[in-house]
Amino acid sequence: METIAARRACARRLPALLTLAAAIVLIASTSDADTIVLRDMNSRVETNWQSPTGLFDWKIDGFDVATRQWLWYRQGSMTSEQSIDSLYRVGYSYTDNNSDGLNEEGLITYRESSDALASRFTVTIRYILQGGSAGSGAADLQMAVSVANTSGSALSFRLFNYADFQLPGAGGDIVSIPDGNDPLQTQGPVYKVDSIAQVTSFYGSIFPDGYEAGMATDSPTLLARLTDGAATTLGTVAGPRSPGDASWAQEWDRSIGAGQSFDVLYDFNAIVPEPATLAFLAIGGAALLRSAIRRRGR
């Protein structure tokens, strides 16, 4: 069975691409297209990079597991969080990693202002989709985020990642963040979205400064707190929280040195098999499916 250590070892290959990513994206001009679409095998991801809607659709064998996944930030003396798309939108680019005619990878770049010389920082988001075989109900999505300080002095930056996934069935989801880094959303013994967060440049702790498992019945909800026009500081609510419409958020507070970057890599692994596949999964097929997806990414 694949371990968390193995997943992280696989994920470590991505950070080396971030520098190249920043160079590539400068070639892409700002586009009026709202939605970036990635496809691979049984999976499709859609992200509205120009609004707080963010990633709003992740279909696996036709089932949509994503309500919303997106980033917010608060920099310096700002008095409230803003969605990352409120920054100046430089552009985006696609990559077809396996020459199958489908774009599995998308790179988005923002910066502080339209004036490149006056901007003190840039933010790049790289999504890489790895689908599974048709009918498997399995897919993997990686998101590498880099906040680069382009100024001559230290930059105080708070990054928030919010995720609201949805799983099939009527029983309601369970969400937990047992160690602060790795949110897990499940329903029943099989359906799940397992997330791993890995800091790949070291400014302070490798753990988030705040993390909370939430439910739609919370007042206010996690999303409402990020969008209410007031500064938010996440606590440490590990859960488990259940059952119902679950979500989670993490907060990274960093002082980024001049000319340096803060990089965090997320790996979202989803298993939402159709009923006909459940018997296969029950005898160990889940590990085989995930292993097959990983091999395609090597």
d(CA 76, CA 156): 5
CATH code of the domain covering residue 246: 2.70.98
Please classify residue 198 by burial: count the beta carbons closer than 10 Å to its beta carbon, then call 0-12 exposed, 13-18 middle and 19+ buried. Answer: buried
Domain that holds residue 31: 4-296
What is the side-by-side order of every strand in the sheet holding 138-149?
88-95, 105-111, 121-131, 138-149, 261-271, 191-199, 184-187, 173-176, 241-244
**How does pLDDT run across 182-210, given as a tens digit for each residue?**
999 999 888 999 999 999 886 667 899 99
Q: Degrees (nearest 5) of the Cα angle 64, 269, 262?
A: 110
Q: Degrees (nearest 5) of the Cα angle 97, 161, 27?
A: 40
**How does pLDDT run across 79-124, given as a tens digit for each residue?**
999 999 999 999 999 999 999 999 999 999 999 999 999 999 999 9
pLDDT at 81: 98
Contact status, residue 209 vs residue 197, Cβ threshold 8 Å:
no
Higher pLDDT, 19 or 56: 56
Domain count within the chain: 1
- 3 state DSSP class of 292: helix
**How does pLDDT run across 234-281, given as a tens digit for each residue?**
999 999 999 999 999 999 999 999 999 999 999 999 999 975 555 554
